[in-house]
Structure 1
Amino acid sequence: MERRKFKPFGELSALTLGGGGLGQVWGKTSREEALETVAMALDHGINHLDVAPMYGRGEAESVVGEALKGRSVEDLYITTKCQIGTPADHNVYEKLNASLTQSFKNLGMEKVNLLLMHSQLIEDDYEMFRFNEHREKNATTLSCYFDEVIPAFERLKKEGKIDHWGIGGIGQKEALLTALNHESPPAAVQCIVNPLNSAGAIAYVSETFDPLVILEECQNKDIPILAIRAVQAGALTAAMDRQPHASGFDAKDFDDFLKAAPFRQLAQEWGESPASLAHRYALSVPKVSSVILGVKNKTELEECLKAETMGKLSADETVALDNLFYQQ
């Protein structure tokens, strides 16, 4: 598998095995199938695993921990996360450390290579588009981020518990741009990269969130990029293989599936599956170090591995995909 430059680690495999599928966020799978999927990923050259406590309430981390038993982890890199929010009692370090301690237990490790903030950034007086009543849990204010989160991350680095820290590139545009241009920028950012340019259901902070703005800022600032949502929660695949959430939370993902009909038609004309084409699109975006996969089984992983071997899209193909929705 292709290796790409990634400043924090030196090089990463072009594909990263994400924990969403392993934690059954994207539909049901068995523990055995999840373990076999991790083994298959490692056997095919994937050297970065991206998990989080939120993926199946620790299930994804536990799967990775079990899968790595008896295996050498010398050439592997592990990323996990913490949904920090904006704690009213300002105990950011304690919250991060407690989350990380549980992650270590799940993973069977004493350190991770990258720790990401899993909550979304907002300015202090910003009112969220959805779930504003839960802003202290789901969003981190800029003052909390600068005054407490960054110092806590740096303390964890000094304690030898993490090598690097970063953020998710989703939230309020203005807050994210401020963070990216701060004197202490993140070592890595997870940016949404897909032909729809959509964050889907997780864009609950801002109704008009534009992932491309954050991606381009990271490219311009040479901040390492990990691509997420390549298939936009299933909207850019042949079929949504899960039922809508009863709460209606993920309705935007299913709306995106309908919107993506021209993409599926074009994929058919080009003789490729929609999921394969979507992953190749993300792999073709400049300065993307690795594309994080949300696969939940070996069949889905095999499709992504095949897509990676097909190489990047041509400039004309990329433009055709960009224009597909830009013109709508």
Structure 2
Amino acid sequence: MQTISWGQTGIHSSRIGLGTWAIGGWMWGGTDEAESIATIHKALDQGINLIDTAPAYGEGRSEEIIGKALAIDGLRSKALIATKAGLSFKPGESRPYRDSSPARLQQELDESLRRLKTDVIDLYQIHWPDPRTPIEETARALEAMHQAGKIRAIGVSNFSLEQMDIFRSAAPLVAAQPPYNLFEREIEADVLPYAKQHDLVLLCYGALCRGLLTGRMHADTRFDGDDLRNIDPKFQAPHFAAYLAAVEELKQLARTRLDTTVLGLAVRWILAQGPTIALWGARRPDQLDPVGDIEASPLDAETLQAIDAILQRHVPEPVAPSFMAPPL
């Protein structure tokens, strides 16, 4: 497993991280604790040492499961935990609201440490920018936690360049977490070059585009309950058919040119883009079986051009991931 260093922190993580939104159950049709714990253990066995979570993933359920999984046989020392703060739920409401006020962040930190059964969080991230709280106040609150030894590194998620500039003026920023995959490439215009310029590591969420890039979906695929994909326009007509057609052609390219799967191509493509980590969402151990087959070597220019041509042919106007943003 290839690793990447986090700035000047001395922290080194695997370039594939385990994404645990689905493990929390919320917006993914529920969860199974025993299977989720087995998935976390499988990730560690595969060389993945970074686990990304958030209190919003099942209102703490994902963190609780991770805490239980890492409490077994001293596994906490083998894992890096990245969690988040700044989203809260009101009683009786299913959608979170943004709150990055210092008092709320301190409360969230204490709750996350308890659920995760640890005394320090390796990467603490603001989940979404909060327009009601000055960014400098939020940054200073996290820097105080860093100085107190409660967190080892600071990150932000879904922040613009201007917001990251303001944040960096008040606290050292190590990481940013944007959506990024073959079908959602908006950050190539701003966040990706910014990360390269300022030595930030990018934790790319949605690396498999919510399952589209696994190659296992078909026109009759349906999603149960509160599954996020029921509100993602990419999984609705007429977009779904176009994306599936692109996946079929990417499958053929991956097989004939690289002797890999479309999933392997999608992850390898992310790793070739710069200071990137691909967050691989899974909630069953078997979903991690292909991890060992992922190559981290760069893709040649001809392959990159062929990928771009396929995308332009099938999804010339890709659907942005903005539908996931919680209300302001």
TM-score of Structure 1 vs Structure 2, range by shorter chain: 0.7 to 0.9
In the alignment, the residues of structure 1 paired with residue 269 and residue 83 of structure 2 have an alpha-carbon distance, to the nearest angstrom, of: 25
SS in 1 for 2:48: coil
Aligned residue number for residue 94 of structure 1:
103
CA change 1:41–1:160 in 2 (3 A) is same
Letter in 2 for 1:16: G
Which 4+ stretches in 1 moved above 6 angstroms? 246-249
- Which residue of structure 2 lines up, in the alignment, with residue 222 of structure 1? 199
User: Could you state the TM-score of these two structures normalised by the residue count of structure 2?
Assistant: 0.78
CA distance in 2, matches of 1:48, 1:319: 31
Task: Report the secondary structure of 1:160's partner residue.
Answer: coil
RMSD: 2.8
Q: Does the C-alpha gap of structure 1 residues 178 and 266 become closer, same or farther in structure 2, counting only changes over 3 Å?
A: same
Structure 2 residue 300 is the aligned partner of structure 1 residue 282: no
Q: CA deviation at 1:235?
A: 3.0
Question: In structure 1, how many angstroms separate the alpha carbons of the residues matched to 2:156 and 2:108?
Answer: 16
Deviations 1:148-168 (A, max 9, x none): 101111111122211111101
Per-residue deviation, residues 14-68 of structure 1 (Å, max 9, x unmatched):
2111211221344444211111111111112111111111112212111111111
Structure 2 counterparts to residues 43-122 of structure 1, below 5 A: 43-69=45-71, 70-84=73-87, 87=99, 92-119=101-128, 121=129
Which amino acid letter does the alignment assign opposite residue 165 of structure 1?
I
What amino acid sits opposite 1:219 in the alignment? K
- Cα pair 1:189 1:225 within 8 Å, conserved: yes
Name the structure 1 match of 2:179. Answer: 192
- Counterpart of 1:145 in structure 2 is 135
Q: State yes or no: 1:259 paired with 2:262.
A: no
Task: Provide closer, same or farther for how the CA distance between residues 177 and 76 of structure 1 changes in structure 2, counting only shifts above 3 A.
Answer: closer
Which of 156, 167, 175 aligns to 2:145? It is 156
Gap change, CA 1:33 and 1:248, over 3 Å in 2: closer
| Aligned equivalent of 2:210, options 228, 233, 243 | 233
2:261 equivalent to 1:273? yes
Is the partner of 2:122 in helix, strand or coil? Answer: strand
Distance 1:186 1:326, change over 3 A: farther
Contact 2:180-2:206 within 8 A present in 1 as well: yes
- CA-CA distance at 1:257 after TM superposition: 4.1
8 A Cα contact 2:135 2:163, kept in partner: no
Q: Give the number of equivalent residue pairs.
A: 290
Identity %: 23
**Structure 2 residue matching 1:45: 3-state secondary structure:** coil
- What SS does the aligned partner of 2:140 have? helix
Separation (CA, whole Å) in 2 of partners of 1:275 and 1:246: 21
Is the alpha carbon distance of 1:106 and 1:79 closer, same or farther for their aligned partners in structure 2, counting shifts above 3 Å? same
The one of 319, 322, 325 equivalent to 2:305 is: 319
